[in-house]
Amino acid sequence: MSESKSIRNTTISTSMYRGAVANIPLAVSAVTYGGVLGVLSAQKGVTWAEMSAMNVLMFAGSAQFVMVDMWQEPLSVLAVAMAVFIVNLRYLLIGASLQPVFAGHSLWRKALFMHLVADENWAVTITEHRKNGTNPYFLFGGGLLLLCAWSCGTLGGNLLGSFISQPEKYALDFAFVAVFAALSLSLWRGRGDALPWASAIVLALVSEKFLPGKWYIVIGGVGGALVAGAIEYLRLKKR
Amino acid sequence: MSANLFIENGPAAIIVASLITYCFRFGGLLLADRLPRTGPLRIFLDALPGTILVSLVVPSAVHSGWQGVVGVVACLAVYMGTRRLLLTMFSGVLTVYLLRLVS
């Protein structure tokens, strides 16, 4: 009994450690990206306390950019809520796609670990799950590392004020695109993905041009996956 | 002191925004538990990670101009060759940095 328990504890800590290590490249870019937001937030008069509360309670990069941008008195809670709703709607899809990783795990574990799901550790975990299989601890380990990195970046930038005054000059804004491009390559499952992915790209590009916020991620993601579902539906009907 | 730490409505806005975000994360997972394991809907869900990720990447790459597009191509090449994420990130950033420098 105690032996099996200790084995279980070992796998838990090993998985968390592996998850953290796998997220190191993304943590590096989260520090720089967070630094940019921190500097912006200092210019907008956002305090370190407000920034910390957003980091720990919300933990969502692009939504924090939007909130920092809106941060002035009088602050409308409704306006912030609506903006965050649009920007973070994609987490509904991201949460749904993590179902195989959490299969068989308890409700409280799902409730706890889902809080630290960001685009970064989600992408790393899904990729790892497709390759070797993984578990919620792997995801959570990555989430903890990202929370540290994100807090270091945002608070460092906020305290130092002009830490990175021109991020685009050093192409630091490109770090995220670089990592996500590589990750999407490892999500490629074969020719069957071609049409869904092409549809997703077209839909995302078009809706990004015409719609506010992050709607384009939701529209591209859902639209592309609907194409995949429709192909399967037609295939089943033909049989 | 505490009045200076948060602007008016600041704490409320952060709490509401955080609740919305958490409900999406957890709600998505709970919703997926109730969905079928086979068929078109399953295929739809399995296709989501890839389609979300490309929808996230491509518009940002295009926003970085032609340098960004070249940078993405460089990243894909490096990642295919090495499978090293950190190396991929640095080569991408370096590529875009150098291209911006000369253009």
Q: pLDDT tens digit string along A209-236?
A: 998 777 888 899 999 999 999 999 999 9
In this prediction, residues A22-46 reach a mean pLDDT of 87
In this prediction, residues A48-58 reach a mean pLDDT of 97
Contacts of A200 in chain B (CB under 8 A): 50-52, 54-55
CB A208 within 8 A of CB B59: yes
Is A28's pLDDT higher than 70?
Answer: yes
Task: Give A76's Cβ-side CA count (13 Å radius).
Answer: 6
Give the B window 30-89 contacts with A, CB below 8 Å.
30-33, 35, 39-41, 43-62, 64, 68, 71-72, 75-76, 78-80, 85-86, 88-89
Q: pLDDT tens digit string along B50-96?
A: 998 899 889 989 988 999 999 999 999 999 999 888 888 889 989 99
Contacts of A230 in chain B (CB under 8 A): 40
pLDDT given at position A1: 45
Contacts of A184 in chain B (CB under 8 A): 50, 53-54, 57
Cα distances from A132 to residues A180, A233, B84, in angstroms, run 19, 29, 17
A-B interface: how many C-beta pairs under 8 angstroms? 289
pLDDT given at position A7: 63
Confidence of residue A5 (pLDDT cuts 50, 70, 90): low
Residue type, A228: A
DSSP state of A54: I
Please give the Cα distance from A126 to B15 (Å, whole number): 29
Question: What does the mean pLDDT of chain B come to?
Answer: 89
Q: pLDDT tens digit string along A86-126?
A: 888 889 999 999 999 999 999 999 999 999 999 999 999 99
CB A79 within 8 A of CB A103: no
Please give the Cα distance from A97 to A217 (Å, whole number): 15
Helices (H), B1-103: 2-5, 10-33, 40-63, 65-82, 85-102
Query: Could you identify the residue written with the tokens 């399953």?
Result: B42
pLDDT given at position A35: 85
Cβ count within 10 A of residue B76? 17
Q: What angle do CA A208, B25, A35 make, to 5 degrees?
A: 65
Q: Cβ–Cβ of A229/B96 closer than 8 Å?
A: no
Confidence of residue A13 (pLDDT cuts 50, 70, 90): very high
Please give the Cα distance from A145 to B91 (Å, whole number): 23
Residue type, A90: R
Confidence of residue A128 (pLDDT cuts 50, 70, 90): very high
Q: Cβ–Cβ of B47/A229 closer than 8 Å?
A: yes
Query: Which of the residue ranges A29-38, B29-38, B68-77 has the most confident prediction, judged by mean pLDDT?
Result: B68-77
Cα distances from A43 to residues A30, A72, A73, A153, B33, in angstroms, run 20, 11, 15, 15, 44
The residues, any chain, with a CB within 8 Å of residue B19's CB and separated by 6 or more, are none
Q: Cβ–Cβ of A229/B55 closer than 8 Å?
A: no
pLDDT given at position B1: 45
Cα distances from A28 to residues A106, A153, A202, B83, in angstroms, run 32, 9, 30, 17
A119–B contact, CB cutoff 8 A = yes
Question: What does the mean pLDDT of chain A come to?
Answer: 89
Return the percentage of chain A with pLDDT > 90, whole number. Answer: 59
Question: Which structure tokens are listed for B90?
Answer: 């640095």
CB A204 within 8 A of CB A220: yes
Q: Cβ–Cβ of A170/B30 closer than 8 Å?
A: no
